[in-house]
């Protein structure tokens, strides 16, 4: 125990010394609200962070983090792969914030109606296409500085950010010379060929649990079966609800509250404590290998007999995430829809950006319960909440319809951790010599983008080495192509 405490204190000291948003200059760029019309829809201010500490004097490579659905500080504080390679590459680091998130808010952040509900009229410029155009515009403006006029830009991103990085390379190849797309579920959309089975997401959560502790999946499955079987009168006590559970719809919401804890812990399958999955900042960390910790609680001896015992253990085990602070009192308050999905729900309802709370379960291949991903129910919800209908096949149509379309995109590396449920929608096999898949058997959600850690498993270390070797090759190729484009002799081309 003493040795573990000393290790923890050492790691905390290292964490305090790590570079992040605090080491960046905060800058702003004025962006069009709508990049694709000629009307007067107005502008907004997009925030981005820059660190030039190791940037070469001229034509430095630009490592661009394409931000996703959170304040960009979270990514600047955790994108260790960029920070730890900046000096070797002489790179300028840029972290761009996604429109409608963090402080990059159109309409001065007034995005709701008087009743507090989201205003669809003010959300209509929230799309991945608009975000990509923001990033392309930012790159263009960066290159207006003579120091970076010939700079190769490498897009980095994880999760939705990884999808954006991949799509940046596909749709704006003149803006970015390559893309690092970590844990990017670019195939998790309707209309892809082969088709995406959304249940595979929850099946991956289940495999992660069983891999963490044999027998855990069956124990969790028994807990959810108990939740479905007990009377409504018993649900409140069993799940620790603050209020009586009075309807089957509320029972379903409590089941999802518990399930989301398990998929979040599976994403957060990191070999050290970290608060990345709880939002960073001052939020509490999850333990190392949180699914393992939850499985230990799930499979602990319980003197209570019958289904409520299994359900009680499920509630306790889910508390590894749901009560990460350790400060939940006598009971849980059920989160609202906005607390679950927030403004991301609008992106689901327009372009079906992957959202696991809508994915199917079957209770057999996974450890949860039978639940369909009915297109009709999705349409009804989206029309009721936002007055819109999803474009179900637009992402597939606009990105090539699956692996065959992505194979035409060069200089992209897709990394996926086997423990991460989003790997179910990722590119798991290389599509060509310049469209490379990297598998991380012990990996959680885009763990390869994080800072190196003494507890990193060998496959994670190897993934980072592979990725940055590819990045180096892409930069050399970019410089060679740029020189040829202006007629420079190839003998004068630097090879980094």
User: Rounded to an integer, what is the distance from CA 256 to the centroid of its chain?
Assistant: 19
Of 341, 321, 419, nearest to 385 by C-alpha is: 341
Higher pLDDT, 25 or 332: 25
pLDDT digits (tens, 9 = 90+) for 193-205: 999 999 999 999 9
Q: How far apart are CA 155 and CA 82, in angstroms?
A: 10
Q: Which letter does DSSP use for residue 148 in this model?
A: G
Catalytic, out of 77, 134, 345, 420 = 420
Residue 461 token pair: 């270390």
pLDDT digits (tens, 9 = 90+) for 336-369: 765 557 899 999 999 989 889 889 999 999 999 9
**pLDDT of 471 higher than 60:** yes
**Active site includes 453?**
no
**pLDDT of 249 higher than 70:** yes
Residue 331 token pair: 């009971």
Distances (CA, A) of 76 to 94, 129, 341, 360, 414: 9, 23, 22, 34, 20
User: With bands split at pLDDT 50, 70 and 90, how would you rate the model's confidence at 495?
Assistant: low
Q: What percent of the chain has pLDDT over 90?
A: 78
User: With bands split at pLDDT 50, 70 and 90, how would you rate the model's confidence at 10?
Assistant: very low
Which pTM value belongs to this model? 0.93
Residue 162 token pair: 């990884």
Mean pLDDT over 465-486 rounds to: 94
**Active site includes 445?**
yes
Q: What is the mean pLDDT of the chain?
A: 91
- What pLDDT, on the 0 to 100 scale, is given for residue 5? 33
**Active site includes 415?**
no
Are 388 and 382 a contacting pair, CB within 8 Å?
A: yes
**pLDDT of 326 higher than 90:** no
Lowest mean pLDDT, pick from 32-41, 53-62, 157-166, 458-467: 32-41
pLDDT digits (tens, 9 = 90+) for 47-75: 999 999 999 999 999 999 999 999 999 99
- What pLDDT, on the 0 to 100 scale, is given for residue 494? 53
**pLDDT of 132 higher than 50:** yes
Catalytic, out of 98, 128, 445, 446 = 445
How is 341-406 classified by DSSP, letter by letter?
A: HTTHHHHHHHH----GGGS-EESSSSSS-EE---HHHHHHHHHHHHS----TTHHHHHHTSSHHHH
Residues 6+ apart with CB under 8 A from 487: none
- What pLDDT, on the 0 to 100 scale, is given for residue 340? 59
Lowest mean pLDDT, pick from 99-103, 143-147, 334-338, 401-405: 334-338
**pLDDT of 16 higher than 90:** no
Q: Which letter does DSSP use for residue 424 in this model?
A: G
Are 26 and 116 a contacting pair, CB within 8 Å?
A: no
**pLDDT of 279 higher than 50:** yes
Mean pLDDT over 415-424 rounds to: 98
**CB-facing half-sphere around the CA of 185: CA atoms within 13 A:** 25
User: Rounded to an integer, what is the distance from CA 262 to the centroid of its chain?
Assistant: 16
Catalytic, out of 104, 159, 183, 318 = 159
């Amino acid at each position: 125990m003493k040795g573990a405490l000393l290790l923890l204190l050492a790691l905390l000291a290292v964490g305090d010394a790590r570079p992040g948003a605090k080491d960046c200059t905060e800058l702003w760029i004025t962006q069009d609200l709508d990049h694709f019309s000629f009307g007067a829809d107005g502008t907004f201010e997009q925030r981005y962070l820059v660190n030039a500490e190791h940037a070469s004097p001229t034509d430095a490579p630009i490592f661009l983090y394409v931000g996703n659905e959170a304040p960009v500080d979270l990514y600047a504080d955790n994108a260790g792969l960029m920070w730890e390679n900046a000096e070797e590459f002489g790179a300028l680091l840029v972290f761009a914030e996604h429109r409608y998130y963090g402080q990059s808010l159109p309409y001065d952040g007034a995005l709701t109606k008087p009743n507090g509900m989201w205003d669809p009229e003010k959300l209509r410029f929230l799309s991945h296409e608009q975000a990509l155009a923001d990033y392309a515009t930012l790159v263009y403006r960066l290159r207006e500085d003579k120091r970076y006029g010939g700079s190769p830009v490498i897009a980095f991103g994880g999760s939705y950010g990884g999808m954006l990085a991949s799509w940046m390379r596909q749709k704006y190849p003149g803006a970015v010379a390559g893309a690092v797309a970590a844990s990017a579920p670019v195939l998790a959309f309707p209309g892809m060929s082969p088709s995406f089975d959304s249940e595979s997401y929850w099946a991956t959560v289940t495999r992660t649990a069983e891999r963490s502790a044999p027998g855990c999946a069956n124990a969790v499955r028994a807990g959810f079966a108990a939740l479905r079987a007990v009377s409504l009168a018993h649900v409140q006590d069993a799940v620790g609800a603050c209020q009586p559970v009075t309807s089957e719809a509320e029972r379903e919401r409590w089941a999802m509250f518990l399930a989301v804890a398990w998929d979040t812990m599976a994403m957060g399958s990191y070999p050290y404590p970290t608060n990345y999955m709880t939002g960073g900042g001052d939020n509490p960390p999850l333990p190392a290998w949180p699914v393992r910790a939850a499985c230990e609680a799930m499979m602990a001896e319980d003197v209570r007999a019958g289904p409520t015992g299994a359900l009680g253990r499920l509630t306790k085990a889910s508390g590894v995430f749901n009560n990460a602070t350790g400060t939940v009192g006598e009971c849980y308050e059920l989160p609202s829809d906005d607390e679950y999905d927030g403004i991301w729900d609008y992106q689901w309802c327009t372009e079906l950006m992957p959202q696991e709370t809508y994915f199917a379960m079957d209770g057999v291949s996974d450890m949860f319960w039978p639940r369909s991903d009915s297109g009709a129910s999705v349409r009804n919800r989206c029309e009721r909440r936002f007055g819109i209908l999803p474009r179900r096949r637009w992402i597939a149509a606009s990105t090539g319809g699956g692996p065959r379309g992505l194979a035409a995109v060069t200089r992209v590396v897709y990394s996926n951790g086997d423990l991460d449920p989003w790997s179910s929608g990722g590119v798991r096999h290389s599509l060509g010599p310049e469209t490379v898949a990297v598998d991380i058997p012990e990996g959680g959600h885009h763990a390869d983008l994080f800072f190196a850690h003494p507890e990193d498993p060998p496959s994670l270390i190897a993934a980072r080495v592979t990725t940055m070797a590819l990045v180096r090759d892409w930069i050399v190729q970019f410089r060679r192509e740029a020189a040829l484009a202006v007629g420079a002799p190839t003998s004068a081309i630097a090879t980094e």
